[in-house]
Structures are given as structure tokens and as C-alpha cells.
């Protein structure tokens, strides 16, 4: 698989990474651990070198899974994890608010290192911006961890342009991770131009619209009661019906390219900038191979223009998150 560098950081990773959250968390019941270990190891064999997890996925169990799966490949791979939540087993999905106090960041780093079975975290993201802690203090805490050799690179997730600049002035930010796909293009307004200017890499999560852009979900699809898509305004049956036009567009381009809608959606992201590295998640080998195959699809300027022209006629229906979650983004 081709490699890409995340901005000016010299952090080189496979052009497509693997988001591991759904193996343990959010998309229905946790999957079989041994099957997921096997899937992660197969990804390494297929050329994936970039793996994404977080302490809150599970909570904790996803980091343990990733650590066990990658222990024997540790020198070949880049592991990204995240800090910044108050975790309480009694709270919904384990999330009891934000906590990016410097002392908490350092505690989380120690615990994550143990779960990941490693002596260094390659990329340590603040999971959401904490309005109660100055971003300079957060960046300073990660800078300390980098100087101690426990972390290699600092990242932010769902941060706004001003916050990115302030953090970057204290400790260079290697990558920003935010949702970005053909059906959520908010980062194009301010975040992507800022990253380009500062030489920071971009890691789109949910690059396939939480599964919707694969063409395998329609208005009649039902999700397990524990699947968080049940709570998302964009996943109501009415919104899914309205948003089908976007999947139809991807399907048309996919036929032309002898590809799948998911591959076109990923290839579109890769074509935006050379420092963008999407991290689609999956729990199935066939999907893993399909996603990896997207790196070989070349979208021509004509293809990209056709996608842009058609997408500009489509208004995506439904907010991506309930309001209380959306308020945590773009700070």
C-alpha cells in the first residue's frame, strides 16, 4: 500500500488506516476478541500501518484488543489513541463529561501504555476540546510526555481552527482527526485551510458516513438496540431516504471506475490532499479488503468535477449528532 506523511511531522503511515472503535464499542455488541485480533493482524499483512483507538472505546477494552493484536508487529505500525474524557461505568457509554487537566492526561497516558503493551504512544489526540482547560495547558502536558519519550506526536480531534493554532504554537500538532466525508464537509470551511497553512496532517473518521456511504444501508435497515446510530438525527428512516441521492451518485461513479461506492468515497477523500489519511472502521475481512482497495483507485479531474457538481445539488438531511454532542465539536 502507498504511504503518506501526516503534514510536516514526518509521521509516515499507510494511505488508509484502520479505525478499531467498532470492534468493541458503539456499533452494536462487542465483536469476538479473537476474530478481531485476527482481522487487525490481517490488516498489517495487507499493508495497513495506522491503527486508531481510544481509552473510552469499551471503555478500555479496545486499547487492550489493539495492544494484544499488534504486540508482535509493534515496530512496523503506528498506534494512535486519545485522552480527554471522564470515564464512569455508570454513565451512558461510560462518558461522564470531559477532563483534559494536565495531571489527568499524564495518568491516562500511563494507563494507555500498559493496555497497548507498548513503551510509547505514536500519536496522542485530545479526544474533544475541554472548555474548562486552556488548550495551551493541554499542549504543554503532551509536550512533557513527548520530552519523557512516552509519546511521539500530538494530535487534536474535532478542534476548531483557532484552537489548532493556539495548541500548535506550544507543541506542534502532527494531525487533526475530525469527521469528514462526502456527507459531512464542514472541515473544508476553516479547518483544512488552517492545516494546509501550518503543515498538519488530517485524519478523517467516519469517512464512509458511519456505513451509510457503502450503499448497504437504506430507510428500512434496522440497527441493534445498542448501536449508537439509533440516536443520530441523520439516521432516522426519513433522513436515510432523503440522503439516498448521495449513495446513488457514488454508485454511478463506482460503475464507471469498476469499483464500489465505498471505494469511491474513500478515493474522493484521498484525492483532496496528499496529507489526508482516512481511517474507515470495519469488523469484516471482505470490507477491510474493499477499503484497502480504494487506495489504488485514481479519480481523474473529470471524475472529481462530476462528483462535485452532482454533490452540490444534494442537501444532506439531518444533523450528524444530537445537539449536546455536537456542541463539543469545532471549539
Question: pLDDT of 79-110, one tens digit each?
Answer: 999 999 999 877 777 777 999 999 999 999 99
Q: Give the tens place of pLDDT for each residue, 66-83.
A: 999 999 999 999 999 999
Give the pLDDT confidence score for residue 330 in this predicted structure: 87
pTM as predicted: 0.97
Residue from 57, 60, 180, 205 carrying the catalytic annotation: 57
Per the domain annotation, does 225 fall within a domain?
Answer: no
Per the domain annotation, does 236 fall within a domain?
Answer: no
User: CB neighbours (10 Å) of residue 255?
Assistant: 12
Per the domain annotation, does 327 fall within a domain?
Answer: no
Judge whether residue 42 has pLDDT over 80. yes
Average pLDDT over the chain, rounded to whole? 96
Give the pLDDT confidence score for residue 77 in this predicted structure: 98
Can you give the residue range of the structural domain that contains 156?
3-209+273-297
pLDDT band for position 2 (50/70/90)?
Answer: very high
What percent of the chain has a predicted confidence (pLDDT) above 70?
100
Active site residue 184: no
Give the pLDDT confidence score for residue 91 in this predicted structure: 75
Q: What is the CA radius of gyration of the chain?
A: 19
Q: How many domains is the chain partitioned into structurally?
A: 1
Per the domain annotation, does 317 fall within a domain?
Answer: no
From CA 29, how far away is CA 272, in angstroms rounded?
34
Give the pLDDT confidence score for residue 277 in this predicted structure: 98
Give the pLDDT confidence score for residue 261 in this predicted structure: 98
From CA 51, how far away is CA 18, in angstroms rounded?
5
For residue 33, the domain's CATH number is: 3.20.20.100
The residues, any chain, with a CB within 8 Å of residue 67's CB and separated by 6 or more, are 115, 116, 117, 118
Per the domain annotation, does 227 fall within a domain?
Answer: no
Per the domain annotation, does 140 fall within a domain?
Answer: yes
Judge whether residue 207 has pLDDT over 90. yes
Per the domain annotation, does 258 fall within a domain?
Answer: no
Per the domain annotation, does 26 fall within a domain?
Answer: yes
* Residue 118 contacts residue 67 (beta carbons within 8 Å): yes
pLDDT band for position 324 (50/70/90)?
Answer: confident
Amino acid at each position: 500500500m502507498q504511504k503518506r506523511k501526516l503534514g510536516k511531522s514526518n509521521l509516515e503511515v499507510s494511505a488508509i488506516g484502520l479505525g478499531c472503535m467498532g470492534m468493541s464499542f458503539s456499533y452494536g455488541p462487542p465483536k469476538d476478541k479473537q476474530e478481531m485480533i485476527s482481522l487487525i493482524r490481517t490488516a498489517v499483512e495487507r499493508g495497513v500501518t495506522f491503527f486508531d483507538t481510544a481509552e473510552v472505546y469499551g471503555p478500555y477494552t479496545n486499547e487492550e484488543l489493539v495492544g494484544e493484536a499488534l504486540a508482535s508487529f509493534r515496530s512496523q505500525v503506528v498506534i494512535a489513541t486519545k485522552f480527554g474524557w471522564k470515564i464512569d461505568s455508570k454513565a451512558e457509554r461510560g462518558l461522564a463529561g470531559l477532563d483534559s487537566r494536565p495531571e489527568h492526561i499524564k495518568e491516562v497516558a500511563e494507563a494507555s501504555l500498559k493496555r497497548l503493551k507498548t513503551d510509547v504512544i505514536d500519536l496522542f489526540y485530545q479526544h474533544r476540546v475541554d472548555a474548562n482547560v486552556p488548550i495551551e495547558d493541554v499542549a504543554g502536558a503532551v509536550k512533557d510526555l513527548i520530552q519523557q519519550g512516552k509519546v511521539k506526536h500530538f494530535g487534536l480531534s474535532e478542534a476548531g481552527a483557532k484552537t489548532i493554532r493556539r495548541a500548535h504554537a506550544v507543541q506542534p500538532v502532527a494531525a487533526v482527526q475530525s469527521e469528514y466525508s462526502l456527507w459531512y464537509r464542514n472541515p473544508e470551511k476553516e479547518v483544512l485551510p488552517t492545516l494546509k497553512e501550518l503543515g498538519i496532517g488530517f485524519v478523517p473518521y467516519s469517512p464512509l458516513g458511519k456505513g451509510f456511504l457503502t450503499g448497504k444501508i437504506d430507510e428500512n435497515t434496522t440497527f441493534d438496540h445498542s448501536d449508537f446510530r439509533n440516536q443520530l438525527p441523520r439516521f432516522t428512516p426519513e433522513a436515510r431516504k432523503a440522503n439516498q441521492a448521495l449513495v446513488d451518485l457514488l454508485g454511478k461513479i463506482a460503475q464507471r471506475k469498476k469499483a464500489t461506492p465505498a471505494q469511491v468515497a474513500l478515493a474522493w477523500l484521498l484525492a483532496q490532499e496528499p496529507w489526508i489519511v482516512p481511517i474507515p472502521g470495519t469488523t469484516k475481512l471482505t470490507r477491510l479488503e474493499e477499503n484497502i482497495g480504494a487506495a489504488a483507485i485514481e479519480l481523474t479531474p473529470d471524475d472529481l468535477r462530476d462528483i462535485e457538481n452532482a454533490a452540490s445539488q444534494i442537501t444532506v438531511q439531518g444533523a450528524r449528532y444530537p445537539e449536546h454532542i455536537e456542541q463539543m465539536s469545532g471549539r
